[in-house]
Copies of this chain bind each other. A is one copy, B any other.
């Protein structure tokens, strides 16, 4: 082995190694996904702007979205608990 000590906990990362190639691939995958995510964030902003242009209050709109998200989360939690209890009671 040319580039790392035997005790290395991490892959050896020099320019020509397999590890460097792997690293590059991981980074590119992440950056690609981050780009898409940023695109969606931008789309969301556009929808808020459009809604505002139609006369809706952006702040109120955001509040509604927030509340509905809470509701969904609580509903899902409730179902999860129900399922848990059903399992505990042997009701599959």
Contacts and interface: CB of A to CB of B under 8 A. Distances in A.
Interface residues of A, number: 48
B33 A47 contact: yes
B90 A23 contact: no
A31 interface: yes
A90 B4 contact: yes
12 contacts: A5-B90, A7-B90, A9-B55, A22-B54, A29-B47, A30-B44, A30-B47, A30-B61, A34-B44, A37-B40, A37-B41, A57-B87
Q: Indicate how many identical chains form the complex.
A: 4
Contacts of A44: 30, 33-34, 37
B60 A90 contact: no
Contacts of A4: 89-90
A4 B86 CA distance: 12
Contacts of A81: 63
Interface string A62-92: 0111001100000000000100110111100
